[in-house]
Structure 1
């Protein structure tokens, strides 16, 4: 089939827990993870007869900050409704949410498409709602499987941000989620370190076929994997002459697959009607008093202008608030070299070790010392990476503290001038005549193998650029 006939259409519904002290409609603590199950509850969030909700003003203010940052329009009125459905973690058998009159409509998010071009993804709406409780699945071989319900989460304030179906690939979806997470973090309305603080429902279809919803995906990587699997499943089914069912599916994180859960509900199935215990809210006038902080795109542009760093480095550094702040504490050693070391090297080393950035920020002077050693040509780039790895390993294991300079001395990584390695270069050239012949025949990169062998022999003490220049001189380039 033609590519246009198999066009992928994706829309996202992103649920974010607002980091307020109390719940959306009562005074119970919203920190549902802190204490024993079913201890942060009261008649309101347990839905007991006669209990009346009282709206949390701070939650609405946080939601309006998000709406303003995403360029939304705030209508004159918003209205809470009851969304009726039965599920064990929904103690009232209805959820208080917003229906046809949400808090905000429209808006957009700027990302890049898969070709690297700017793309504006339009928003449909942002509304406020309460989180249901939490199901905890238990069980073992002796007792069998069973499920417990914790209502500590019941009533925690959520915002749901709905995009138009304008995403064209799983990678675009992940980029949008990364941009959205960064924006929420800069706004200081949620805690990205808390498990489950963002959950995603992904809607996906192949052009001309029914839409499938994948519910409650808890990670950005999971969203990309779920969509990738679902695209393959749907396209294969279409090629075999099958029919795509309009349904809700669950993502199996461990297997990387989706499974059918139920047929997709429509709005009528939920029997929305206005919440009789909450008045219509009129908060459009609040927006003018909301002052937004510097957001990711603005900070990216400032980094490029103020520090003169490349756009790819600026984009990486400003994609995480803590990373951006850390860079600004390190940039005085040299803006370009600091950007390169953080964006190109440090992030990868931290991810490999599953280490948090906070471990490094607590020892910023030592990290700066590594960069300074490289900047001042006391050690080579390769030796600098080795020093960084040893230093991070020491931090992670709690080993005896060593300064970067002490690591250099202990491992003998002090840089030496290229001329001291001329004999080694000549020996390796003599042992690899084919590489020399290929170079003289005009094959690009033919000498890279020789450079690598010299670097290995000199244990990273030599600069590869100096070695490459020396080789070119010896072979008569």
Structure 2
């Protein structure tokens, strides 16, 4: 029997506010345990929650970005369950009327564009954290995260593979960072996924029994956990068994999921409106204000890059995969508008490659867009060849990396003559003098009679060999286009 995997994701994004969702306590990461939990977070008697306006504003931003409905009123509810790191015995969340309802995220899965529907995005507070190490067999509780604002983004079960789930998660990760509502730091838990996985016979419209895999904090673990869980369920069904609805954890060391507890349904949490929080009214004026503050969204920018710069769908998608990449590329184009494709190739290729090797992102790139544009201008005007440009780029990178300051934080015009300095000081200018090139070509033809004969006999590879010899004699500094033209002319004389 052929099986189909069905996946839906619940993504918890930590909102980028300085204080918690219902208190003034700090959300800074890395503080000593239990030093950033105030009386409200600890649910001490007599305290009352006060809603953080910044958290609501960030939720509205997401709703507008995905084309969802902003509900007004929006209701906060108590989600009741008992766990050691939940000091109230309930979590303040949203149920029947979330702040965002519906919407969608468009993903590029290979050559196919797919729309993943969203069910909702609701505000809630985070719980604390149980610590199981270094406590002599006991468990410690750190409540610093208690009350941290989360926006839980719930998709419909529209994904059909682990690969699609990863593309969706990456697209959403890019979006929340792009609009500035979350820093996306997965190592610190700012962006984590729960995957709901089920399988069904190919062609069936009926959903299978799902299992939820909790707290996946890397895209690689997300993919591996879904693949393992799908295989596990298929094996059970093919052996004549039934799937038990469960919450499961992924063990990355063993590459397997294991049961954590039976999966609760909504009624098990006994949701009811929180009596301490009034219904949240979100006026049209507030929504309009937030909409005015939104940047150009990735999909809109992608379409513009294709339309205005003639970039391919692939290039436009790669350049808008992250806001810092897009900003960097636009800054390069601003200085060299005549060749958007050349700029794209270098931003996606050499710049990305060097940053990846050093484990850095574009916002910490040491080479400024202006410096890159100057180097590319020297390729365009024939001062240096593309091959020589690679060597110049390497030397530029080494020099700017010695100054531990990212391009955005440098003064405008810093070391703007760097490419020219390296080209001039090392004599790397391209040979474009036709007389000098004709002499070089003549010497190569005289010294390579066999290759000349083979070319005249119809072997095109012989021509490339001759070009290579000219470039070798010229130490890579001959203008390739002129070499080709002069060589062709001399070979047919």
TM-score scaled by structure 2? 0.81
Indicate conservation of the 8 Å contact 1:211/1:246, yes or no: yes
Indicate conservation of the 8 Å contact 1:24/1:157, yes or no: yes
Indicate conservation of the 8 Å contact 2:4/2:160, yes or no: yes
The match for 2:94 is: 98
Query: In 2, Cα distance between the equivalents of 1:170 and 1:449?
Result: 47
The answer as to 2:27 corresponding to 1:30 is yes
Which residues in structure 2 correspond to 1:255-404 (within 5 Å)? 256-283=255-282, 285=284, 286-291=286-291, 292-335=294-337, 336=340, 337-360=342-365, 363-396=368-401, 403-404=418-419
Structure 1 residues 372 and 240: CA distance shift in structure 2, 3 A:
farther
Give the structure with higher Rg (CA). Answer: 2
Structure 1 residues 377 and 262: CA distance shift in structure 2, 3 A:
farther
Shift in Å, 1:154: 1.0
Structure 1 residues 159 and 359: CA distance shift in structure 2, 3 A:
closer
Indicate conservation of the 8 Å contact 1:229/1:258, yes or no: yes
The answer as to 2:127 corresponding to 1:132 is yes
Shift in Å, 1:164: 0.5
Shift in Å, 1:70: 1.2
Structure 1 residues 42 and 474: CA distance shift in structure 2, 3 A:
same
- Uncovered stretches (5+) of structure 2, i.e. residues with no partner: 202-207, 405-414
Indicate conservation of the 8 Å contact 1:326/1:361, yes or no: no
The match for 1:183 is: 175
Query: In 1, Cα distance between the equivalents of 2:471 and 2:212?
Result: 53
Structure 1 residues 70 and 82: CA distance shift in structure 2, 3 A:
same
Indicate conservation of the 8 Å contact 2:382/2:479, yes or no: no
The match for 1:152 is: 144
CA offsets 1:230-282 (integer angstroms, 9 cap, x no match): 34444455555555443222233456543433332222332322222222223
Indicate conservation of the 8 Å contact 2:17/2:55, yes or no: yes
TM-score scaled by structure 1? 0.83
CA offsets 1:438-458 (integer angstroms, 9 cap, x no match): x9579xx89878878987887
Query: In 2, Cα distance between the equivalents of 1:7 and 1:451?
Result: 54
Structure 1 residues 238 and 276: CA distance shift in structure 2, 3 A:
same
Shift in Å, 1:375: 2.1
10-19 vs 52-61, which moves further: 52-61
The match for 1:201 is: 194
The match for 2:8 is: 11
Indicate conservation of the 8 Å contact 2:445/2:452, yes or no: no
Query: In 2, Cα distance between the equivalents of 1:469 and 1:329?
Result: 35
Indicate conservation of the 8 Å contact 1:74/1:284, yes or no: no
Indicate conservation of the 8 Å contact 2:199/2:234, yes or no: yes
Structure 1 residues 267 and 224: CA distance shift in structure 2, 3 A:
same
Query: In 2, Cα distance between the equivalents of 1:220 and 1:383?
Result: 38
Which residues in structure 2 correspond to 1:63-142 (within 5 Å)? 63-114=59-110, 116-139=111-134
Structure 1 residues 426 and 373: CA distance shift in structure 2, 3 A:
farther
Aligned residues: 464
The residue matched to 2:41 in structure 1 has which SS? coil
The match for 2:411 is: none
Query: In 2, Cα distance between the equivalents of 1:256 and 1:391?
Result: 43
Query: In 1, Cα distance between the equivalents of 2:127 and 2:449?
Result: 70
Structure 1 residues 232 and 391: CA distance shift in structure 2, 3 A:
farther
235-244 vs 97-106, which moves further: 235-244
Query: In 2, Cα distance between the equivalents of 1:343 and 1:314?
Result: 10
Indicate conservation of the 8 Å contact 2:13/2:191, yes or no: yes
Structure 1 residues 344 and 94: CA distance shift in structure 2, 3 A:
same
Indicate conservation of the 8 Å contact 1:75/1:284, yes or no: no
Indicate conservation of the 8 Å contact 1:333/1:371, yes or no: no
CA offsets 1:410-465 (integer angstroms, 9 cap, x no match): 6664434576764668878958999x79x9579xx898788789878876545666
Indicate conservation of the 8 Å contact 1:360/1:367, yes or no: no
Structure 1 residues 345 and 73: CA distance shift in structure 2, 3 A:
same
Structure 1 residues 67 and 453: CA distance shift in structure 2, 3 A:
farther
Shift in Å, 1:38: 1.7
Query: In 2, Cα distance between the equivalents of 1:470 and 1:239?
Result: 70
Query: In 2, Cα distance between the equivalents of 1:175 and 1:347?
Result: 19
Structure 1 residues 220 and 447: CA distance shift in structure 2, 3 A:
farther
Shift in Å, 1:59: 1.2
Shift in Å, 1:331: 0.8
Indicate conservation of the 8 Å contact 1:349/1:389, yes or no: no
Shift in Å, 1:144: 5.5
